[in-house]
Amino acid sequence: MSPLVWLITGSTSGLGAALTNYIASRGDKVIATGRKVEERLGHLKAANVALLELDITAEATTIATQARKAWDIFGRIDVLINNAGVSSMRSAEEADDDYTKNMFEANLFGHMRVTRAFLPLLRSQGEGCIAFTSSSTAWAGLPFMSQYAASKAALSMYAECLHKEIAPLGLSLVSHYMANPMSHMPGDLAKAAAFMVDVVTRNVKDTEVSTQEPTSRKWAVRVALGSDGAGFVRQKCTEMLRLLDDWQEASTGTDRDGEASDAVREMLEFTTII
């Protein structure tokens, strides 16, 4: 299979830098983007590594222009990784409008603008994958991180809804729930980058397999990275099921009398993520 072309936002540090290094090392082509990207990643420029200035909080017209430039570098893009973002702690009482707006611009609205800019190109190409770096805080609310958690939860749901829109177009999507790789937590950025690439490329390979040879693992729209990330998700799901059982009467008690459950059943089938 020919090398894939990847574009990564927020490539200048953290997980974005780890993704850039790993993808380049495996022989694929990568367009690393971010603020001051030439200054910070100039040493990585190579035949298969291109750099492009891209601030995802810029105006939509600016992002659309940069998206077209990115596309023209290698003539296609197979995988768009929406990875850029910010994280900080502040009490809900002290989080003013500017703080909240900046958080949502970097963690949600910017990704929406970037995705919107690339969707027409990917749709015309007829194939491709869009990936998002979300956070385990979308599942596990932490004190003093309400704005960050809310922005990531919104991003995760945006990604899930988008998947349902673009799947019929031949495009795939995955949202990775990344736990914070702090020193006292088990996360490893290099391993996370490699696994994210494996998730995407596994799907690329699977689409080329004959329908006579079913693959062993279905495509996942949501993937938790790290034992802590998976633990947060599992705990929330377990506790939510317990709450649903405890409050079953309240949940079903609001239905209209005599209404059939067919509509509910159909909606649940329509919204499944597996």
Q: Catalytic annotation on 152?
A: yes
Q: How far apart, in Å, are the Cα atoms of 212 and each of 54, 195, 206, 215?
A: 43, 27, 12, 10
Catalytic residue among 134, 136, 151, 175: 134
Of the residues 146, 152, 156, 175, only one is catalytic, namely: 152
Which residues 6+ apart lie within 8 Å of 50 measured at CB? Answer: 29, 30, 31, 32, 73, 74
Asked whether the beta carbons of 224 and 136 are under 8 A apart, the reply is yes
What's the CA gap between 209 and 211, in Å, rounded? 6
* In the block, residue with structure tokens 């799907």: 203
Annotated catalytic residue, options 148, 151, 158, 177: 148
CA distances from 77 to 27, 51, 99, 119, 120 (A): 15, 14, 33, 11, 12
* Residue recorded with tokens 């492009």: 52
Could you tell me if 45 and 51 are in contact, meaning their C-beta atoms sit under 8 angstroms apart? yes
Q: Which residues are catalytic?
A: 134, 148, 152
